[in-house]
Amino acid sequence: MEDILEEPETIQENSLFFTIWTRSTETFNYIFKHCPTKYVNGIITGYGIANAIILNLLFFISHISLSISLIIIMAPLIWLLTWLGVYIQSVLMSWSGKWIGGRADLDQFVTVSAWSCVPAIASIFPIAIQAIVFDNTNSYFQTDEQNIYLIALYYLILAARTGLTLWSFVIFIKGTAVLQQFSFRKSILNAILALSIVIVPIIIIGGLIYLL
């Protein structure tokens, strides 16, 4: 990545997990220049573990009990599916990006995908708070107005979860822009094209099945 922009001197390796939140473009410039693969495996593994924990928390919130054996089976399965999802996303972004002048390969997009997972990993915290405070997702609506603070807390948690998901997407698009040397809008187009590779065939097959 010789054409990656020079990073500001204020970006340091020991602060990457903080600056990726607020200075994504500069952080990606630093990452691609100095440590493109150093933390990738750890982040994706952490994301897989977080997904497994989040799923179990959501089951707990919904009062769905799981056996210990099922949890043991699900945990590595979710971890593997997380890795698979990251690689599929990276393949689609690399492939579709070349249609509009991009040059990034699979490994480079894996780096972008991994670092964009940092806010998604953090979403475990609001979900854990929800699991601790509420018996289930609707319990606070079944009481009187004295629980208005709980209702406010629930929507605050929901906003936090939504915000973290959206910020992961924003970081991914900014990383794509750095990697492909695209504008922000063109990076969004890259993501839309990647998504269309999956969505369009599903729509076509679904339409054919419906007609038959």
Average pLDDT, the chain: 85
Question: For 51-88, how does the pLDDT look when each residue is reduced to its tens digit (9 = 90+)?
Answer: 888 888 887 777 666 666 666 777 788 888 999 999 99
Structure confidence at residue 9 (pLDDT): 57
For the chain, the domains span 13-211
Question: Is the pLDDT confidence value at 146 over 70?
Answer: no
pTM to 2 decimals?
0.84
CA angle 48, 126, 184 (to 5 degrees): 70
Beta strands in the chain (DSSP E): none
Would you state the structure tokens that stand for residue 201, as one six-digit string?
Answer: 């065939």
Neighbours of 13 (CB within 10 A): 12
Residue 141, classified by CB atoms within 10 Å of its CB into exposed (0-12), middle (13-18) or buried (19+), is: exposed
Question: For 96-145, how does the pLDDT look when each residue is reduced to its tens digit (9 = 90+)?
Answer: 999 999 988 999 999 999 999 999 999 999 988 888 887 554 555 555 55
